[in-house]
Structure 1
Amino acid sequence: VALLLTFAIAPLVSALKRVGIPRLPAVIASVLGAFAALALFSFVVATQVSDLAQNIPVYQINILTKIRALKENGLGNGIISRLSGVIERVGQEFERQEPQLPSAAQTPKRDPIPVEIVAQERPLEVLQKVIEPLLSPLGSAGLVVVVVIFMLMEREDLRDRFIRLVGYGDLHRTTQALQDAGKRVGQYLLMQLVVNVIYAIPITIGLWVLGIPNALLWGMLALALRFVPYIGPIIGALLPLFLALAVAPGWSLLLWTGALFIAMELITGNVIEPWLYGSRTGLSPLAIIVAAIFWTWLWGPIGLVLSTPLTVCLVVLGRHVPQFEFLDVLFGNEPVLEPHARLYQRLLAADPDEATDHAEEMLEEKYLFEFYDQVAIPALLLGEQDRMRGVMDDEQRKQVAASALTLVANLDASAQEEAEEAEAEEEEDQQAATASAEASPGKAASAKITAGKAAEGKANDRKAGDGKEPLSEEVDLPDGVGFSVLCAGGRGELDDAAAAMLAQVLEVQGAEVSRASFIDLEPAGIRRLDLSGVDTVVIGFLNRDSTKHARFMVRRLKRLKPRLRVGIVSWSEIGNSDAKAAAELAAGLNADFVAHGMVSAVTGALSSEPPVMLKLAPQRRPRRRPARKKELQAAG
């Protein structure tokens, strides 16, 4: 408890020191203020409880009436009977009065009177009986105060000793762990207090408006009990609900009280806590429940209150100390798998539906080409690596590819929605430019410049409009209207899946897109490929070594259609921005462009550059026969 209070009071001490107050007065003032607030809180609660206890006999009739009504309806006869008996006995105890003296007309019954001789207590004995029950809690409170004061006074010294004890060889990591733990626990306690106050004030006002007696008591208990995870709010709501059952003859007050608590829980849990907390504790919801069970079993109610701060410290330890990393993995709220690894695991498990859910969650913050470039293509690269290592057989490879194609098909609606948004924004830009030109005919050129700038910043405008997170760099993909592109895989089923993703992005840009399989590009099937109306073919390879086959594919395609543009995408080098090396590789392959990611692939496919003509191989000279061989032939 002292450690927890030290974490809570430390920010106040630091704030007082920053305004020029010395350490000792700052510590004493902070501790006295905190414990005075706790004492005032306890006094108000005790006063309210005393007032409630005096009114319990008044509520007995309403409770018994409702219990008997339930009993008549046949709802839980055994339980209702026991509750009725308990309530009657409690009421009798509170209503018990001193016996009245008989009147003169009555003849009292003479019973033997037991006589007990009691020695007169001395003043010291009376004082002892009063003080003894208070010694234990007062002693514990005093001990906590002393420990808190000394921990705040020696905070830096304790920190240095802890560093020397556990992490002297790695000061950077130990310091980072201490700062992280202190920050998380301090922010958790502060935010929890703020949330509880925001929760308790409307509860108090609402109960007072509804007419629940001692509304201040229930509001203060709700504030205190919300420090106990999950169980505390339930207990804080049950007590006022029971009182609402007791004070009114009908059931409407009970229903209104329950609605008040449910509404406040929904608002607090879904609006206030996410807004104030974020991920300040770093714990998953399951970790909070497990921690509450464990620490309660270990230390009882105190462990339940301390469960979240203690578990936060353990998670921070696991985050910074490799030997305890399992604690962060088990209890932390950070994803333990990278997005692309998680997606690949779902594809490997033949679960495209969950993979689609994962993709749609990410598409709330990313555009389609970003998702494919940063998550989906890297997931396919993991599959290609497994294939090269020999841990993936043909059946698994086809299964992953089929799941990836299903994922692409499931995202057609998202792609269509994104395309419609882009078209609507482009129309708005054109209308704005036209209206500006008509309003000021002499400024038509200025309007065109404005429209051009608006088109260049279309990606940023979309980000501001739909709440998607901004890109690290401004990306303006070209318009695909008027382009006809064929996307094909290079060497396998996984390459076909990557080609399908590229085709979908090109469709979003407005291009007319068709797909082909890697089988269609083999020598036996390439002549059957329909290239009529196609101006660009894009071939993708997940395996970098497979690009050596691209030269022959480019040659075959350009022989079929000399004016065809052919591009090669090496997905294994996403992020490679070496334009000179890409141009040299394209020249060596006789390709029109070489891309290393989704953006460069779309840019190359939707380029208006003229096609690169096929370079004919030099003709070999006929080899001359040796002169001796000619003489022998002439002689023979």
Structure 2
Amino acid sequence: MSSSPPPRARAAAKVLPADAPTTRGLTSVITGVVIVCALYFGRDVLIPIILAVLLSFLVAPFVGLLRRLHFGQVPSVIVAVFATLGVIVSIGVLIGLQVVQLSGDLPHYQRAVERKIQNLERHTVGRANAILNKASNDLKRISPAPTHDADGRSRLASSGDGRVQVEVHEPPPSPIGLAQQLLSLVIGPVETTGIVLVVAIFILLQREDLRDRLIRLLGSRDLHRTTTAMDEAARRLSRYFLAQLSINIGVGLVISIGLMVIGVPGAILFGVLTALLRFVPYIGTWIAALVAVVFAAAVGPSWSMLIWTMVLFGATDLIAGQIVEPLAYGRSTGLSPFAVIVAAIFWSWIWGPIGLVLSTPLTLCLVILGRHVERLEFLDVLFGDRPALTPAENFYQRLLVNDPDELLAQAESLLKARSLSTYYDEVALAGLRLAYNDLLRGVVTAEQIRRITESAHDIVEGLEETADLLKRPTKNETPPASTGLSEEDEDVRHSPPPNHFDAKQEGHTTAVLCIAGRGELDALAGMIAVQLLRKHGLIADLAPYARFSRTNFTDIDLDGVPIICIVSFDATESPSYLRNLQRRLRLRAPQAEQIVGITDPQNLLDPDGFLRETTSATSFKQVVDLCVAAARRQTGDSVAWEGLTNGREAAPALAPALTAPGPVIGGNLQNA
């Protein structure tokens, strides 16, 4: 056999120049700055409106329930809003009663605090003072005596400077002044609450009209996209608020009951405080826990009350955060943990404590908006919980950096809910298509091609023992990694694997000769095809294009080979070398059925490019299905091609492959 021809010379990588800056980017930056400034300087007007909108999302399910009970629209809204107001007032009264009760027992708690402080000082500061005093006395014994002046007084002594201390006392406030101070503290929250309730009532009364006006304002040209975005925002916000409110109430009840059992005074107050502060992401629970722990340490006769309080808050937050919240929120809230932290910092800077509470729902609205508005897509990429790269893009990126370990971990996760052939089609084939497009552009270097080849070999070899079966995840298994598909396309991952060829049941064996094209990625596609064919009961081997070139073709005998599969990413374009290869194969093996893949689904095979008897495949699953169908049309045992030099002299060596398929990389591929 003659030596393989040298590899083709590759043009230097040419990366397209970056787009020149345009006025669109500058306009976007200016618009963003203006929006941030408007949010900051208009917070006194925007905060009540935003609170009213979010309150309407929270009350809307209750309004819908009342309307299903045949209440009118106006009575339903009034009853729901005033019921919400009653709950808010009740919580305020409960907090006030608890504060009054604790203030009445404050002298008792003060004495307990003083005793503990004295004990702490005696065991910490007192011991430190004793050590310092001892050290000071030791220094005085060894230091020289101080010198005295003519009057016999120490130079260190200082005489008075004759200054007189003056203290300024303000007169006690009058009753009118006390009333004004009290009103100044109360009138602000009462005014904001009134504005929020009035705006929420009008939003609930004119909900459909406001929705239509927003559609007209934001996207009347694309009603489907705008309606989908608004429905998704309303659904996610309502679900988030209801789930969060239910969880917070449950956590508050558990904390109140637990503190009562421990014996901490004001247990109801700390439970309500915990329920309210849990709206602050991540740190809200621990702020309430810090207050409760400090109070328990102050009033408890020993340190046991403090320890049990810490255990109560830690266990409750762990169960609520790791078990209850994932069950209540479903798959996720739609935000990444990074987004929650950044949003909390940004909105607290813009709007203060209220912004900290509203940070999660506001950012969730922005992420939903970014999913449906092209110019705001960066918001979904930065703050959304969906993967930034699809599995195919991640596959290609990991190939470029030669990281097969992460790819194998991704494959194991994805294979929990899909068959091996589906994984190869959705992830590996799609990723190799991306690499093929970059090869056509001339931006892939020789070093990157080497990395891609090495990593892909490791992936195929690592999946050698994986059966091509559809495994649905059980309830106790972790969910598979995200496919990056839309919700309506998620059923693709459950597509059944190809048919299996049973040699005993069919009564004969069938061999498939896979011939890779001469492209850099064709051998990788051929390896995957051979692996899948062997897993489905066929004898398969892979040969490089060089073995079937015009100069080497005369040394090859294809008598008895029933199925020939040409695997190449160039199949769609049907280049001349593939057409000539197919004609030579047809002349030498007219009895063999020919299958050509992998063609592009978006650009099907040109019927005039190959022989009319050719069958094309767009995926690995179709390759296997077509080969299995062709094998069932055979009537007798066929001869495998692996290792043949002249005729069939090496055919007996393949007999063990009927029961135990060999490695994917055959001898011919290694010789290539």
Relative to structure 1, the CA distance from residue 50 to residue 501 in structure 2 (aligned partners, 3 Å threshold; closer, same or farther) is farther
> What is the match of residue 634 of structure 2?
610
CA distance in 2 between partners of 1:596 and 1:129 (Å): 78
Root-mean-square deviation over aligned CA pairs: 4.2
Q: 1:139 to 1:568 in 2, by over 3 A?
A: same
Q: Structure 1 pair 470/27, CA: closer, same or farther in 2 (3 Å)?
A: closer
For the Cα contact (< 8 Å) 1:387–1:397, is it kept in 2? no
The alpha-carbon deviation at position 331 of structure 1 amounts to: 2.0
CA distance in 1, matches of 2:594, 2:401: 33
**Aligned partner of residue 344 in structure 1, secondary structure:** helix
Say whether the 8 Å CA contact 1:205–1:215 is kept in structure 2: yes
1:57 to 110, 114, 130: 110
Per the alignment, residue 23 of structure 1 pairs with 73
Secondary structure of the corresponding residue to residue 573 of structure 1 = coil
Deviation of 1:598 (Å): 1.6
Query: What is the CA deviation profile of residues 533-579 of structure 1, one whole-angstrom value per residue up to 9, with x for unaligned ones?
Result: 9875543111223575445546766888888x56434112359999x
Amino acid at match of 1:367: S
Kept in 1: contact 2:599–2:617 (CA 8 A): no
Structure 1 residues 327 and 118, CA gap change in structure 2 (3 angstroms)? closer
Aligned CA distance change for structure 1 residues 126 and 474 (closer, same or farther; 3 Å):
closer
Structure 1 residues 293-331: Cα deviation after superposition (integer angstroms, max 9, x where no partner): 111001100111111222222223323333323222322
Contact 1:484/1:534, CA 8 A, preserved across alignment = yes
Contact 2:513 2:543 (8 Å CA) reproduced: yes
CA-to-aligned-CA distance 1:319-375 (integer Å, 9 cap, x gap): 333332322232222333332122112212322222223222211221111000111
1:408-441 per-position Cα deviation (integer Å, ceiling 9, x unaligned)? 223335x1xx36xx6xxxxxxxxxxxxxxxxxxx
1:561-576 mapped onto 2 (5 Å cutoff): 565=592, 567-574=594-601
Match of 1:43 among 84, 87, 93: 93
Q: Percent identity?
A: 38
For 2:95 and 2:327, the matched residues in 1 are separated by 30
Higher RCO (CA-CA < 8 Å; seq separation 6+): 2
Aligned counterparts of 1:403 and 1:368: Cα–Cα separation in 2: 18
SS in 1 for 2:599: helix
Listed as ranges, the gaps of 5+ residues in structure 1 are 79-113, 423-458, 614-636
Count of aligned pairs: 527
Pick one of 209, 220, 243 that aligns with 1:191. Answer: 243
Alignment of 1:540-619 (within 5 A): 540-543=567-570, 544-546=572-574, 549-550=577-578, 553=581, 565=592, 567-574=594-601, 588=612, 594-606=616-628, 607-610=631-634
1:360-396 CA-to-partner distances (Å, cap 9, x unmatched) read: 2211221111000111111111211222232224443
Paired residue for 2:31? none
Q: Give the aligned partner of residue 403 of structure 2.
A: 351
1:326 and 2:354 aligned: no
- 1:100 aligns to what? none
State yes or no: 1:398 paired with 2:450: yes
Match of 1:492 among 519, 525, 534: 519
The DSSP-based 3-state class of the residue aligned with 1:392 is coil
In 1, Cα distance between equivalents of 2:301 and 2:172: 50
TM-score, with structure 2 as normaliser: 0.67
TM-score (norm 1): 0.71
CA shift at 1:181, angstroms?
2.4
Query: Contact conserved, 2:326 with 2:332, CA < 8 A, in 1?
Result: no
> Does the aligned pair in 2 maintain the 1:318–1:328 contact within 8 Å?
yes
Cα deviation, 1:437-457, whole Å, max 9, x if unaligned, reads: xxxxxxxxxxxxxxxxxxxxx
What residue identity is the alignment partner of 1:191? A
State which drifts further: 24-33 or 139-148. 139-148
Aligned to 2:533: 506
**What is the Cα deviation at residue 249 of structure 1?**
5.6
Letter in 1 for 2:67: K
Separation in 2, partners of 1:185, 1:134:
30
Partner of 1:478: 500
Q: Give the CA deviation at 1:164.
A: 4.0
Measured in 2, the distance between the counterparts of 1:220 and 1:488 equals 72
Task: State how far apart, in whole Å, the 1-side matches of 2:556 and 2:297 are.
Answer: 79
Gaps of 5+ in 2: 1-50, 133-166, 481-489, 504-508, 639-672
Distance 1:294 1:499 in 2: 52
Determine if contact 2:419/2:497 at 8 Å carries over to the other structure. no
Q: Is residue 30 of structure 2 the alignment partner of residue 8 of structure 1?
A: no
Contact 2:519/2:569 (CA < 8 Å) preserved in 1? no
Residue 417 of structure 2 corresponds to 365
The Cα of 1:227 is off from its aligned counterpart by 0.7
CA distance in 2, matches of 1:275, 1:354: 28
